Chains A and B, each alone.
Chain A
Amino acid sequence: MKGALSRLIMALFFRKKSVKIGIYGPPNAGKTTLANRIIHTFVDDNEDMGVATEIPHETRRVIKREGVLIDLKRLILNSNSNININISSSSSNRNRERSTRRSRGRGRGRAKLMFDIVDTPGLATKIDFRDFMAYGMEEEEAKRRAKEATEGVIEAIKWLDDIDGVILLMDSTADPYTQTNVVIIGNMEARGIPVIIAANKIDLPDATPQRIINAFPQHRVVPISALKGDNMEELYEEMAKVFR
């Protein structure tokens, strides 16, 4: 309560020029893919925050990228001027995002948000080195990875003290009602930190983002595909609105 109150007072009287937005969630929810997507869209097409693979705990250290500007007006103007390019290069993943943006029209989204993006290791309550061996790792490597993964979880938790807003990423194909998700949300509420839940992987056939919406009715849930770029504009609009 005390933390929430002091945050409210700070927010009312001392608006920050830049806010720190943490991407949190369980392992393999797509946090690094989302961070890369945001950087590609607003900073540089060729810059990556980190490497995303199917192996859990690929991100084992917190990675911060400073000075990311979400400018929705510019984004929409750019997307309108890119119509011809989009049509001619249909194989690009980003086309889907641009197509989504075009379809939403010019009238929406005039907000800007300057922020530092913080990509965090996946939060977990258990880490077994044997799970990594299932991906073909030698025992020694698997043990080292497990050790680093435990350190990553601790680092991600410590970072919550410095975060101004959280995108909680969940996998739309998995059960959302895990204790890890519940704990993250409970902590954000207790600290008064705004949260947006992003229901990721909606491009997969067995995705059911509605399950996430039903599980957390008190929070705004934005269904997205960070990999394919689906519905990203809605997430950016929500970020600009909630994290200002």
Chain B
Amino acid sequence: MRKWQRSSGEGEEGASVKGGGSEERTGIEMNVVSRDKVESMGSMEKLRFILDGVKSGNIVVLEGGLTAEEQMKLIELTMLEVDDSFTGIEISGYPARRGLLNLRKKTRLTIIGPAAKMKTIKKDKDLISAIISTT
């Protein structure tokens, strides 16, 4: 079973979908989070949301993405939580675009998954190819 959910923002508690009742999960859950939702969260809230999702085995896709500083902080947080069962994250994103007056960088999209399940195989400025293992 493969589950997809897109979060539209207001009034939602993230985009996580859990297997309900006695239904057994056999696939990968993917949480696609809207720009509105991403922008409504503070930095730490965002990172916690991502890491909790990824540690549960989910793929998290953020519309609008993470800034370089947030990504560095995410790496730091991830390292604090690496253990025998959680080996870390795979993170990929489209390169940022320069914003107004070439000053502010605007991120476009970031995809984060558990390192044990996701592997980026190719990336350029407009394409990310990844293999997601279901085993």
The residue in chain A whose Cβ has the minimal distance to the Cβ of B119 is: A126
**Contact indicator B90/A125 (Cβ below 8 Å):** yes
- A189 in contact (CB, < 8 A): yes
How many chain A residues have a CB neighbour from B under 8 Å?
27
Q: Is B69 on the interface with A (CB-CB < 8 A)?
A: yes
Expressed in whole angstroms, the minimum distance between the Cβ of B16 and any Cβ of chain A is 21
Instruction: Verify A125–B95 contact, CB threshold 8 A.
Output: no
Q: Are A154 and B87 in contact (CB under 8 A)?
A: no
A129 to B68 alpha-carbon distance, docked (Å): 27
In Å, the complex CA distance between A134 and B3 comes to 35
Question: In the bound complex, how far is the Cα of B78 from the Cα of A157, in angstroms?
Answer: 12
Is the pair B68, A186 in contact by a Cβ cutoff of 8 Å? yes
Asked if A163 CB lies within 8 Å of chain B CBs, one says no
Write the B110-127 contact mask toward A (1 if CB under 8 angstroms, else 0): 000001100010011000
In this assembly, does B82 line the interface, its C-beta being within 8 Å of a C-beta of chain A?
yes
Residue of B nearest to A183 (CB): B71
On chain A, the residues within 8 Å of B78 by CB distance are 125
Residue B91 at the chain A interface, CB threshold 8 Å: yes
- Residue-wise, chain B 81-104 has the 8 Å CB interface mask toward A (1 for contact) of 010100111111101100000011
A74-106 contact mask (Cβ, 8 Å, vs B): 1 or 0: 000000000000000000000000000000000
Given contacts A186-B71, A186-B96, contact A177 B123 (CB under 8 A): yes
Inter-chain contacts of A186 with B (CB < 8 A): 67-69, 71, 96, 105
> Is B28 in contact with chain A by the CB < 8 A criterion?
no
A197 to chain B, nearest CB (A): 15
Please pick, from B68, B92, B115, B120, the residue contacting A128 in the complex, using a CB distance under 8 A.
B115
Known A157-B75, A186-B96; contact A125-B89, beta-carbon cutoff 8 A: yes
**B79 contacts which of A127, A184, A187 (Cβ < 8 Å)?**
A127
Interface hub of B75, B76, B123 (most chain A Cβ within 10 A): B75
Collect the chain B residues with CB atoms within 8 Å of residue A23's CB: none
| 0 or 1 for each of B38-72: is its CB under 8 Å from A? (1 = yes) | 00000000000000000000000000000111011
User: Are B72 and A183 touching (Cβ within 8 A)?
Assistant: yes
Determine whether the beta carbon of A150 is less than 8 Å from that of B82. Answer: yes
Interface status of A124 (Cβ within 8 A of chain B):
yes
Tell me if A9 is interfacial: C-beta within 8 Å of chain B: no
Judge whether A182 is part of the interface by a CB distance below 8 angstroms: yes
Instruction: Given A125-B91, A151-B79, A153-B76, output 18 extra A-B contacts at Cβ < 8 Å.
Output: A124-B75, A125-B75, A125-B88, A125-B115, A126-B88, A126-B89, A126-B115, A128-B87, A150-B79, A153-B75, A157-B76, A160-B72, A177-B123, A179-B71, A179-B92, A182-B95, A183-B72, A186-B68
- 18 residue pairs of the A-B complex, CB under 8 angstroms, read A1-B103, A125-B89, A125-B91, A126-B90, A126-B115, A127-B79, A127-B88, A128-B87, A128-B88, A128-B116, A154-B79, A182-B95, A183-B71, A186-B68, A186-B69, A187-B68, A187-B72, A189-B105
